[in-house]
Structure 1
Amino acid sequence: MVYPTLRDWLFSVKTFAAAMLALYIGLAFELPRPYWAMATVYIVSNPFVGATRSKAIYRALGTALGASGAVLLVPPFVESPYLFSMVVAAWTGTMLYLAVSDRTARSYVFMLAAYTMPIIALPSVTNPTGVFDLAVSRTEEIILGIVCASIVGSAVFPSRLAPTIIERTDAWFRDAAFYATETLSGRIASSAISGARQRLASTINGLELLLSQLAYDHTRPDVLARAHELRGRMQLLLPIMSSLADPLLALYNNGPQHWPEGLRTLIDDVIKWFNRPLPAPSEGYHADETANALRQRIAAMRPPAAALTHWDGALLSNALWRLGQVIDVWQDCRSLRIIITREEGTWRPHFRHWRLGGTQRFYDRGMMLFATVSAGAAVVLACALWITSGWNDGASAVTLAAVACCFFAALDEPAPFVFRFFLATAVSVVAAGLYLFVVLPKVHDFPMLVILFSAPFILVGTLIPRPQFNMVTVLVAVNTATFISIQDAYDANFLTFLNANLAGLAGLLYAYLWTRVTRPFGAELAAARLLRSSWADVALTASTRPIEDQRNLSARMLDRLMQLIPRLAATDDYRHPSIESFRDLRIAFNALDLRRLTRKLGGEAAGAIDHVLDGVRTYYESCVDRRHRQPVPDSLMSSIDVAVARVTAQGLANAAAPTETSQTSARLLRDALHALVGLRLSLFPATLTKPTPTEPEAAA
C-alpha cells in the first residue's frame, strides 16, 4: 500500500480550507444553496495551479452558458413536456459534440454547458417563473467556489504544473531510449517493446491537455512554445524509428559479415548516445558534439552511386539515411528538454522536412456523433419515463443520467465508468445520510461543523491527486457535500432525502444500462475504424487526386496513429496491427515523397514510379472496400523492383555526365530510391533479405 505523500496531504488540507471558506461565505450571504460552492471547490481543485485556474475559468464560462440556455429555453417550451425534453436533449447533444471535438482544456466549457442546462432547466418545469433566479443563484454559488479554490490554491504553497510535465517527458525519454536500443539491435517485436510503444503514444496524447493548461501556470510564452515543439518532435520519433527498423532488420538478416566496416561500431555508439543521461540543470548549455560526430560518420559511410544498383547498397543507403533522421529528431528532443528545464537557451532544429508544420488533428466524426446522439437519446427516454410516471423527484434521475452520459461520452467503453459513478454516488448517499440525521443535529455553530467535516473530507482529499482514485474520490466528495445540502438552519426530512437521492441513483443505474446496451463495442470498433480511415488516407497519398495541404494530411495521419496505438494490446507479433499501422504511415509518407519527386524527375523513372503509386492506391482501396487488410499482390513487388532499377540506371547515367543540373537530379533520384526501398520493405516485411523475382541490377 502506498501512503499519501506530504504533497497529497497539503493539497487535501488546502482544498478543504477553500471548501469551508466557500461554504462560510455562502452561508453568510444567505445563498439558496451554499453547498454548491463547497462542492465546486472539489470539482475545480487540482494539485497544480495552472490546471486549477484553467478549469476554474472554463467552468465559470460553461456554467454561465448552460444557465443562459436554461433561461432562454424553459419559458417557451415548458408547456409541452415532450417537446421540451427534445429541446433539452438537443442542447445536451450539441454542447457535448463541441466538447469532444476539442482535446484541450477548453472542452470543459462545452461539457459544463451540456449538463448545466438540464440541471437548472428540469427542476424548473414545476416553477418556470423561477428559472432565472435559479440560474443566477447557481452561477453565483459556482463562481464563489471557483474564486475560493483559485485564491487558496494560488496563495498557499502553490504547485506549478511545469515540473510535472518535465517528469512526464523524462519518463518518455526512458521509454524512448529502451525502444531505440531494441530497434537498433534488430529487435522490433516483443511484449516489452509493444508496451513501450503504447506508453510512448499515451504520454504524447496526455501532454496535449497538460500543455493547454500550462499557459495558466505563469509560464513564459517562449518556454510554452518550446514545450509544444518538444511534443511535436516526440510524436515524430516513433514513426521515424519505425522507418529505420525494417532496413536495419534486413541488414541483420543479411548477416554482419556483409556490413561495411564501422557500421556495427556506429550503431553501438548511437545506442550509447540514446541512453546517455541529460545534463544536470547546473551544467552550462552546450552543443551536442556527439550528434555532430555521428552525422559525419554516417556521411562518410554513405555508398556511392554505383553501389546503389545492388540491393545491399540501396538497403544500406536507406538505413543510413533513416539513422541520420533519427539522430536529428533525438538531438532536437534532448535540446528542447534542456532548454525547457533551464528556461534559457536558443534552439535550432536539426530535423527539417517539407512535411513539417501541419496542425490538423484527426477526429472520428462518426463515433463522436454516435456518442453524442446516444447521450441525447438517453435524456429523451429518461424524460419520457419521468413524465409518464409522474414522479415528483424524477428530475434528479434525469439530471444525473445526463451528467453521467456527458462525463464519459468520449470513452470507447463508458459503461464501467458510469457504474463506478453509481457506486461512488451510493457511498455518498450513505455518508450524507449519516451526517444529515446523526451528526448535524448536534452541531450548533460553524466551527463545530468544520471540525466534524475535516476528518473524512481531508482523508478522501489525499486520494484525489492519484489518477487511479481521482474520479471516485472527487465524486464522493462532491456528491456528499451536495446531498448533505447544508443550509443556514437545520431542516432535514428523511423521506424527502431518501426520495431525492434514490431518484439520483436510479438515474445513474439507468445511464449504466443505457450505455451498456447502446455502446457495447469497446476499443475494438474504434481501432477498426481508425485503421480503415488510415487506409483511405494511404490510398489518397498514392492517388492523382489533389491534396489541399500535404502538411496537414501528414499531421492528421500521425495524430490518428497516436490515437490507435494505445487501443491495441501489447504483443510480441511482428505483424501485429500496431507495427502494421506504422508501416501504413511510412507507406503514405513515402508515397507523398514520390508524388512530389515525379514532378521533378524526367526519363523513364517517373513513369515507373507512377505505376508503383497506382498499385499502392489500388491495394489500399481494396482494403477499405473489403474492410479488412488484404494480402499485398506480388505484382506490386515487381513494379517496385522495376522502378528501383529505372531510378538507379538514371542515376548512373547522370553520374557519367556530371553537371550542376545532374547533381540536383542525383539528389532527387537518391531520395526517390530511398522512398521506393521504404515502400518495398513496408509492403513486404517478410522478404527483408533480397528482392525477388526481379532484382534491380538484373532489370537494369
Structure 2
Amino acid sequence: MTSQYKSPRPLLGAALYASILDSLKAWLKSDGLAWLFAFKAALAAILAVGISMRLELPQPKTAMVTVFIVMRPQTGLVLARGFYRLCGTMVGVTVAMTLIAQFGQYSDVFIALTAIWIAICTAGAARNRNSRSYGFVLAGYTAALVGVPALQDPNAAFMIASTRVAELTLGIVCAGVVSALVFPLHASDEIETTLRAQSSSFFSYIAKTLPSRKAVEDVVAMHEHLITSLVNFESLRVVAVLETHGMRSRSQRMKRLTSELMAASTRFHILLHFRNQLRLSGDHQTLDTVNRCVGAIGRLLARSPDVLDTYASATGTAQRLDRLRLRVQRHLAYVAKQDGFTPVSSLNLATASDLINRFGTELSAYVHTYASLQDERHSRENWLEALTPKTDPFVALAAGARAAAATLTLGFFWIATAWPSGSTALAQGAAICALASTATNPFRLAIQIAGGTLIGGVVGTILVFGVYPHLDGFPLLALAIAVATMPGAFIMTRPKVAGFGIGYCVFMPALAGPDNPQSYLPEAFMNDAVALVIAMVVAAAAQALVMPATSLWFRHRITARLKAEIATAYGAPLRGLRAEFENGVRDLMAQQLMLPRHEGLPIRIPMAWLNSVLEIGTAIIDFREAAADITSRAGLSHLGPAQAAIRAVLPLFKKNTGELRSVAIDALRDSMLAARLAADDATLLPSERSRYRDLLTALNRIKHALRDPQNALGQTGQPSVAAPSSR
C-alpha cells in the first residue's frame, strides 16, 4: 500500500526547487550581472581610495571618479579604456603644463586656448567611434582638470600635475585589476553567441523570403537590423581581441565575416529587388524560373535550423551551398537554351542567373569563414581590408563647438565673478561636454547626467555632514562608499537611463568623495555644489543651442554624403573598392540611425537612398570589373558607347528629376544595344564577348532599378537632398 500510494510532496518540492533554480539562473544572467558589475565598481573605488590615502595623495576622490569613468562590465573594454585614458591623461597634462608655462599670467588667453584644445579633443572623441575616443576625451578633460587649479597657483603647477596623474593612474590600475581578477566577464565569451544570433537572423530571413512568390516589402527593416547588429558586433570584436590570444588569432577572420555578411546581404537585397522588378515588368516566365531556383536555397536553409549551431555544421552547410549553387547554374544554363524566351526575357534570365550566382558565392564565402573559426590558424586569416568607422567630420566639429562654447562661457564667468568655485564649474563643465560628445543624443545625455548629479548632490551632502564625521577607520568608510555608489553603478548598466548613473557615480564622488585630509566646511561644499549645477545647466544649454545633434541639417548632410558614395563606385580605383564602398555606405547609414529621429526626414527616405546606392553602385562596380578585362583594340572600340549610360546615371544622385531620368534611360538603351552587338561580335575574343555579356546584365539591372517605384530614383515627390560637393 505504501509503495502504491506515494506522497505528492516530494514531487511538488522538486518542481518548486527546479522553478526556483531556473528563476535564479535567469536573474544571474540579467540583473545578477548588473549587480556584479556594481559590486566590482564599488570594490575598485574602495581600493583606489584606500591606496590613495596610504600614499597620502591629496584627493583620493579623483582616483574614485576615474574608476567609474573607466569601469565597464567587460574586462577587455576596461583595459582598452584604461590604456587610452592613460595616454589621454599624459597628453592632457603636457598641454596643461605648456599652457600654464606660457600663459599662466594671462587667464583669459589661457581659458581661450584651453577651450580650443577641449574642442579639438571633443571633436576627436566624436570622430572616432571606438576605444580611442576615450583617449581624446581625457586629453581634453585632463587639461582642464590640471590646468585650472594650476592657473590659481602657477608655482604649484608641477605638484598639482604630478598628484593628479598619480591619482588618475591609480584609478585606472585599480579598475583594470578588479575587472580582470574578480569574476571577470570577457567579451570573447559573447562572440560566438553573438555571431550565431546574427547569422541565424539573416539565414532565417533568407529561408522565409526566397521560397515566397510574393513581393518582399520589409527589406528596409532587414537592413536596419543588420546594420545595427554589425555595429554592435564590431564593438564587441575590438574589445575581445584585447582579452585572449585565441581572439587575437581570429581577429582578421571576424572582420572578414563582417565584410562578407555585408556583401551577401547586398547581393540578397539586389536579388529580391530584381525579382520584384520582374513581377512589375510582367516577365512572369523568367520570374517563375527564378522562383524555382532561389526557392531551393531558401528550402535548404529552412530544412537545417542548426546550419551554424557549430563550426562543424557550418562546414557542412557551406559544402551543400556550393553544390546547390552549381546545380542551379547548370539548370539556368539549360533553361536559357530552350525556345520560348523573348530577347528581353533572355536578358532578364541571364541577369537573374548572374545575381543568383553572385549571391550564392558571397553567402558561401561567409559560411566558409564562419566555419574556419574553429581553427586557431587558418588561411582565411590573411585578410587586410580595413573597416574603420568614422563619424561625419561636421558632426564631430559640432561636438567640439558645443564643448568650446560651454568652456568659454564657464571660463569667462569665472573671471568676471572671481568666484572661488568657478574653477570647479569650468573643469566639470568640460568633463560633461567630453562625456556627452560620444552619445547619439548629447542633449539627452547631458540632461540625464544633470539629474544624476542632483541626486548625487543630495547623497553627497548626507555623506559629508551626516556619515563621514561618525566613521572610525577605513572599513566603515569602505562600507559607506559601497552603499552610496552601488545603486548608481547598477543604473549605469541600463542603456536608456545610463546617463543618470554616470552623473551620479562621476560627479557625486567629485563633490563628496574622500579628501586627504577631509574638509567639512559647509560654505565650500555648497559653493562646489552650486558650481556643479551651473556646469550642468551650461553644458546642457550648449548641447541644445550650439549646432544641436537633433538638427535636421545633420540628417540631410549624412543622407547627401550617402548619395555621394555613388561617385566612389564610379571613380575610385578598383583594388579593394567593393569592400570600401560597402563599408562606407553602411557606416554612413549607421550614423544616420544613431542620430535622434526627426519628423522632417523620416528614416524611410535615407533607407530608400541606401537601397538605391547599394543597388546601382554595386552594378557600376560589376560593370567596371568586367570592362577592366577588355583590353584588345577591337574590344575597346565597343566600350565607349557602352560606358555612356553610367555617366548619364550619376547626375540623378544629385538631382532626381523626370527629365534626367529619361535621359539616363535613353542612354541605357543605347549602351545596352552597343554591349549586345559586342557580345555577338564574332571577331572578338570569346573571353571579351563573355565580359560584354556581363556588362549587359549590369546595365539591365540599372535600367530595372530606374523604373522601380520602390527605388529612390524611381520615386517622385520625395524630399530632395543635394549631394555635397566633396566627400
TM-score scaled by length of structure 2 = 0.84
Cα deviation for residue 521 of structure 1 reads: 5.2
Counterpart CA distance in 2 for 1:585 and 1:537 is: 9
In the alignment, the residues of structure 2 paired with residue 187 and residue 138 of structure 1 have an alpha-carbon distance, to the nearest angstrom, of 65
1:675 counterpart (670, 686, 698)? 698
How far the C-alpha of 1:119 sits from its partner, in A, is: 1.4
What is the match of residue 560 of structure 2?
Answer: 532
8 Å CA contact 1:413, 1:522 repeated in 2: yes
Give the secondary structure class of the aligned counterpart of 2:451: helix
> Could you say if the C-alpha distance between residues 631 and 155 of structure 1 is closer, same or farther in structure 2, counting changes exceeding 3 Å?
farther
Question: Which structure 2 residues correspond to residues 31-430 of structure 1 after superposition, within 5 A?
Answer: 31-181=57-207, 184=210, 185=212, 190=217, 193-220=219-246, 221-253=248-280, 258-259=285-286, 263-275=290-302, 276-281=305-310, 283=312, 286-287=315-316, 288-303=318-333, 304=336, 310-340=343-373, 342-344=374-376, 346=378, 357=385, 363-411=391-439, 413-430=441-458
**C-alpha displacement of 1:420:** 0.9
Q: 1:282, CA displacement in angstroms? A: 8.2
Deviation of 1:506 after TM superposition, in Å, equals 0.6
**2:442 is matched by which residue type in structure 1?**
P
**Distance (Å, rounded) in 1 between the aligned partners of 2:278 and 2:161:** 69
Deviation per residue, 1:462-508 (Å, 9 max, x gap): 34334334332233122222222313454312221111111111111
Aligned partners of 2:689, 2:645: CA distance in 1, in Å? 20
Change (3 A) 1:668 1:171: same
Partner letter of residue 55 of structure 2? F
> For the Cα contact (< 8 Å) 1:413–1:523, is it kept in 2?
no
The amino acid across from 1:54 in the alignment is A
Given that 1:62 and 1:113 are in contact with CA atoms closer than 8 Å, whether structure 2 keeps it comes out as yes
Residue aligned with 1:653, SS: coil
List alignment gaps of at least 5 residues for structure 2: 1-22, 715-727
Q: Tell me how far apart the structure 1 counterparts of residues 205 and 596 of structure 2 sit (CA, whole Å).
A: 17
Relative to structure 1, the CA distance from residue 39 to residue 408 in structure 2 (aligned partners, 3 Å threshold; closer, same or farther) is: closer
How many residues align? The count is 671
Query: Given the superposition, is the C-alpha separation of residues 244 and 57 from structure 1 closer, same or farther in structure 2, using an over 3 Å criterion?
Result: same
3-state SS, counterpart of residue 32 of structure 1: coil
Q: Report what 2:544 is aligned to.
A: 516
Go from structure 1 to structure 2 and tell me whether the alpha carbon gap of 1:8 and 1:535 turns closer, same or farther (over 3 Å shift): closer
In 1, the alpha carbon distance for the partners of 2:499 and 2:650 equals: 45
Distance 1:273 1:480, change over 3 A: farther
TM-superposed CA distance for 1:319, in Å, is 2.3
Larger CA deviation: 436-445 vs 609-618: 609-618
- Taking structure 1 as the reference length, what is the TM-score of the superposition? 0.87
Question: Helix, strand or coil: the match of 2:86?
Answer: helix
Contact 2:452 2:502 in 1 (8 A): no
Counterpart position of 2:642: 609
Q: Which amino acid aligns with 1:680?
A: K
Name the structure 2 match of 1:556. 584
Asked if structure 2 preserves the Cα contact closer than 8 Å seen for 1:77 and 1:83, the reply is: yes
Provide the C-alpha distance between the structure 2 equivalents of 1:631 and 1:359, rounded to a whole number of angstroms: 38
2:470 to 442, 460, 470: 442
Tell me how far 1:148 sits from its aligned partner: 1.6
Q: Shift of the alpha carbon at 1:422? A: 0.9
Letter in 2 for 1:81: S
- Superposed CA offset, 1:191-214 (max 9, x none): x65333212111222333332222
Higher mean displacement: 181-190 or 126-135: 181-190
- Paired with 1:42 and 1:630, the residues of 2 have a C-alpha distance of 57
Residues 21 and 255 (structure 1), Cα distance of their counterparts in 2 relative to 1, 3 Å cut: same
How far 1:134 sits from its partner (Å)? 1.3
Deviations 1:220-266 (A, max 9, x none): 33211211111222232332222212211123446695147764343
Once structures 1 and 2 are overlaid, which stretch shifts more, 550-559 or 117-126?
A: 550-559
Between 1 and 2, higher relative CO (CA 8 Å, sep ≥ 6) is seen in: 1
- 1:591 maps to which residue? 620
> Mean Cα displacement is larger for which, 284-293 or 440-449?
284-293
Aligned-partner Cα distance in 2 for 1:189–1:506: 53
Amino acid at match of 2:109: L
When residues 204 and 36 of structure 1 are mapped into structure 2, their CA distance, relative to the original with a 3 A threshold, is same
2:58 alignment partner, SS class: coil
- CA-CA distance at 1:339 after TM superposition: 3.7
Q: 2:385, 2:342 → 1: CA distance?
A: 35
- One-letter code aligned to 1:527: R
Shift of the alpha carbon at 1:360?
Answer: 6.4
Separation of aligned partners in 2, 1:189 and 1:569: 25
Pairwise CA distance, 1:523:
6.3
Give, in angstroms, the shift of residue 274 of structure 1: 4.2
Q: Is the 8 A contact 1:457 1:477 kept in 2?
A: yes
Identity of aligned residues (%): 20
Instruction: For residue 104 of structure 1, give the secondary structure of its aligned residue in structure 2.
Output: coil
Report if the CA contact (8 A) 1:266-1:294 is conserved.
Answer: no
1:578 is displaced (CA, Å) by: 0.5
Find out whether 1:459 has 2:487 as its counterpart: yes
One-letter code of the match for 1:461? A
Counterpart CA distance in 1 for 2:306 and 2:330 is 27
Cα displacement (A) at 1:368: 2.1
Q: CA deviation at 1:634?
A: 1.3
Separation of aligned partners in 2, 1:570 and 1:195: 18
Partner of 1:697: none
Mark the CA change 1:48 to 1:63 in structure 2 (over 3 Å): closer, same or farther.
same
Deviations 1:304-345 (A, max 9, x none): 4899972222222222322222223333333333443x4547
Confirm or deny: 8 A CA contact 1:179 1:197 kept in the other structure: no
Alpha-carbon distance in 2 for matches of 1:363, 1:457? 33
After superposing the two structures, state which structure 1 stretch, 555-564 or 276-285, moved more. 276-285
Q: CA deviation at 1:432?
A: 0.6
CA distance in 2, matches of 1:509, 1:524: 24
Q: Which whole-Å CA distance do the structure 2 matches of 1:556 and 1:112 have between them?
A: 28
